[in-house]
């Protein structure tokens, strides 16, 4: 593979540091065409779907994309805002606020960029621009608190795939997870307490995480364990006992067994069992998106009320909560130790 010619470094060039906040991605518009393009990229990732390529190609292109794109577009349209995709809007805001707080803490020579694993702005696009602007130290910060091969490792794949075509590779660092980071868990606690202060406390708190196929865990993925640890730590901070909260998994796709218990059936059963007021939070999502605003706040809410529940309260994601931005800043700082992040600390390239 030929490598592109790169400009020679000039005497006196300085090192530049960047943080790339990476989220999953979103269609560019709530239309069948845009959703189809997004789903094709997302569901073509072998980290996401571990089915033999030839078989999956037929299923994806012959069955899923022709039928699911229109249905998914309608769901996206239900949550789309004047600012566009909620996930993209919130991730952009987080990146901007992260840059501001890093500056306030003295890291005034750090660029913060936002990228999407699927869709735009793509990781290759963002990494290419950072290189063109002279950044030679890059921290990859996934917006996934809990590690999974289906998400975090896929981000790493995309980064390494991009640099296969680059001659002069920057120094790279990766954040693997922060599922038990005190600042992150404390931010979750504050969102719950603020909700209770305004709306009162439900009979139970249900913590819904995105699901993965059970086979993923059986093969060694640590995702389930990290989700359960986040839930335990949050319950501990909220002083809940084991009867006060539940952990479930949502967004099951296909016929294979996924992590259980599943969110929607559990919520329906809670209503049947007499729970009248339920609070739901999605700790694994750091930005509100289709899975929280449509699947939980609309579909699962309907399940609860259709089975006898009276009050269903969805607690929004961390989004731009100050405690979350502070936690995100702490995570970035911890992983940039030793790098020049202040103007006075800039060093000449050798």
Q: Which residue has the tokens 């559990």?
A: 266
* Residue 257 is assigned to a ligand binding site: no
What's the 3-state SS for the chain?
CCCCCCCCCCCCCECCEEEEEEEEECCCCCCHHHHHHHHHHHHCCCCCCCCCHHHHHHHHHHHHHHHHHHHHHHHHHHHCECCECHHHHHHHHHHHHHHHHHHHCCCCCEEEEEEEEECCCEHHHHHHHHHHCCCCEEEEEECCCCCCCCCHHHHHHHHHHHHCCCCCCCEEEECCCCCCCHHHHHHHHHHHHHHHHHHCCCCEEEEEEECCEHHHHHCCCCHHHHHHHHHHHHHHHCCCCCCCEEEEEECCCCCCCECCCEHHHHHHHHHHCCCCEEEEECCCCCCCCHHHHHHHHHHHHHHHHHCCCCEEEEECCCCCCHHHHHHHHHHHHHHCCCCCCCHHHCCECC
Q: How far apart are the first and last CA of the chain?
A: 27
Cβ–Cβ under 8 Å, residues 312 and 347: no
Alpha-carbon distance of 206 to 271, in angstroms, equals 13
Q: Which residue has the tokens 């005190």?
A: 182
Q: Which residues make beta-bridge pairs with 135?
A: none
* Residue 210 is assigned to a ligand binding site: yes
Extract the annotated binding site: 210, 291
**Which residues are annotated as part of the binding site for Fe(2+)?**
210, 291
């Amino acid at each position: 593979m030929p490598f592109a010619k790169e400009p020679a470094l000039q005497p006196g060039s300085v090192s530049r540091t960047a943080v790339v906040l990476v989220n999953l991605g979103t269609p560019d518009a709530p239309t069948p065409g845009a959703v189809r393009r997004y789903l094709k990229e997302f569901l073509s990732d072998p980290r996401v779907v571990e089915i033999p390529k030839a078989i999956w190609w037929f299923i994806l292109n012959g069955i899923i994309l022709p039928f699911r794109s229109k249905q998914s577009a309608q769901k996206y349209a239900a949550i789309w805002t004047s600012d566009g995709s909620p996930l993209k809007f919130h991730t952009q805001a987080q990146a901007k606020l992260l840059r501001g707080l890093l500056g306030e803490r003295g890291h005034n020579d750090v660029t913060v960029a936002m990228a999407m694993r699927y869709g735009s702005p793509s990781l290759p696009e963002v990494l290419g621009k950072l290189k063109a602007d002279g950044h030679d130290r890059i921290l990859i910060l996934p917006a996934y608190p809990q590690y999974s091969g289906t998400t975090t490792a896929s981000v790493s794949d995309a980064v390494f795939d991009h640099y296969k075509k680059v001659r002069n590779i920057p120094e790279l660092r990766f954040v693997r997870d922060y599922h038990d980071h005190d600042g992150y868990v404390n931010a979750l606690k504050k969102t719950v307490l603020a909700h209770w202060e305004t709306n009162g406390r439900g009979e139970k708190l249900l913590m819904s995480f995105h699901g993965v196929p059970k086979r993923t865990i059986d093969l060694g993925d640590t995702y389930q364990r990290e989700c359960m640890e986040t839930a335990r730590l949050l319950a501990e901070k909220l002083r809940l006992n084991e009867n006060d909260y539940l952990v479930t998994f949502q967004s099951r796709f296909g016929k294979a067994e996924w992590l259980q218990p599943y969110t929607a059936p559990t919520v329906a059963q809670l209503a049947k069992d007499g729970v009248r007021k339920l609070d739901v939070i999605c700790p694994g999502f750091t930005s509100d998106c289709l899975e929280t605003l449509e699947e939980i706040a609309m579909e699962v809410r309907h399940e609860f009320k259709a089975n006898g529940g009276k009050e269903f309260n969805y607690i929004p994601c961390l989004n731009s909560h100050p405690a979350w931005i502070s936690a995100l800043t702490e995570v970035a700082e911890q992983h940039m130790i030793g790098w020049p992040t202040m103007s006075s600390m800039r060093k000449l390239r050798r």
